[in-house]
Structure 1
């Protein structure tokens, strides 16, 4: 069996397992929610910290998110792909937290997302032994020249391995908008895109 086939099977197993935990916690099983928290925490933290690089804020937002899920469990619907759903919910929770800290108690608007910004640094790529310092510098500079939404889409696609449809759900965009973001990102990164693929494949 090829490696990619193994990865697809493992991914399908994770999705099924998370979906089972989701169903169980909605029925009032606290242990299922705890297991879901443990299974999802690392990915949620990585994504949240990418959006807003304050460790305490992100940890608080993840805890707040799961508390809200528990209190609202009876009104929640069935979710097949739990990770994109939770990433989208965390994104909104971070925005709400920042609004609350700034004393802006009003209806949420898309403009509230302006404080969320994925940025890349040289250190992000130190784990890769396949590129040298100059290539890391070039790739970091090229990524940070992208728009905010392009950087977020690139992070989700090539560092977290989400499919375009999942990214659309997380970022609250249409599928076509995500395809456009990724296409324009690839065009802008055309001289460095192979390096991005090398690194993304090893994350």
Structure 2
């Protein structure tokens, strides 16, 4: 019986959860705990806070008697966690960090092993890596955020919009501007933007 739940897609699981299924809740928890933990750590360096918020989020889901429907449960969870972390932040600096998504947002794809999968380790390759790091540092918070969700975490356009609490067209426009900005910056270093986007997508596999 339980194995049946592991075969369900997100929408079906969410429907079961809304009907009170704790098995569905457990499957969702197992499916997205790592994603939520990674995402939460991009909002705040407080590991304990992130873990506590994830636990609290799922306790609330378990106790909710009128859980709203959503087409994109993954995005719903990400947005809920981000809001919860922000609510729990006690200092102004912490609240800003929850939305700032600094350069460490890309730390899981900027390590040497990941880089060498795409570029190698010659002097020219190291120049490209330095240029990519510099390019990322020039993007705005929202630009980094949307690139992270779309290309690193692989969310669809609709999921990105839901997670960022935006209209789909607005999120697509933001993504387009972000890629254009990245392309503009990288062009000064003779690096194609598509190289970076391919890099992120390959690391996802």
TM over 0.5: yes
* Residue 179, structure 1, aligned to residue 161, structure 2: no
Structure 1's 15 and 113: CA in aligned 2 closer, same or farther, altered over 3 A? farther
| CA distance in 1: counterparts of 2:29 and 2:108, whole angstroms | 28
Structure 1 residues not aligned, in runs of 5+? 1-13, 105-111
Question: CA offset at residue 15 of structure 1?
Answer: 9.9
2:150/2:156 contact within 8 Å kept: yes
Segment of structure 1 superposing worse, 20-29 or 40-49: 20-29
Question: CA offset at residue 170 of structure 1?
Answer: 0.8
Partner of 2:82: 91
| CA distance in 1: counterparts of 2:126 and 2:33, whole angstroms | 31
Structure 2 residues not aligned, in runs of 5+? 1-5, 120-124
| CA distance in 2: counterparts of 1:145 and 1:180, whole angstroms | 19
* Residue 154, structure 1, aligned to residue 147, structure 2: yes
| CA distance in 1: counterparts of 2:81 and 2:142, whole angstroms | 16
Please state whether the residue corresponding to 1:75 is helix, strand or coil.
Answer: coil
Partner of 2:3: none
Partner of 1:119: 102
Segment of structure 1 superposing worse, 130-139 or 146-155: 130-139
Structure 1's 43 and 123: CA in aligned 2 closer, same or farther, altered over 3 A? closer
Partner of 1:9: none
| Superposed CA offset, 1:95-150 (max 9, x none) | 1111xx34x9xxxxxxx963322123466322232123332221122112111111
TM-score of the pair, normalised by structure 2: 0.77
| CA distance in 1: counterparts of 2:176 and 2:17, whole angstroms | 38
RMSD: 2.4
Partner of 2:17: 25
Partner of 1:130: 118
2:109/2:200 contact within 8 Å kept: no
Partner of 1:109: none
Q: 2:38 aligns with which of 35, 42, 46?
A: 46
| Superposed CA offset, 1:138-192 (max 9, x none) | 1122112111111101101110111222211111122232122212211221125
1:15/1:81 contact within 8 Å kept: no
- Which runs of structure 2 are paired with 1:181-200 in the superposition (5 Å)? 181-190=174-183, 191=186, 192=191, 193-200=193-200
1:15/1:80 contact within 8 Å kept: no
1:62/1:90 contact within 8 Å kept: yes
Q: 1:141 aligns with which of 134, 152, 156?
A: 134
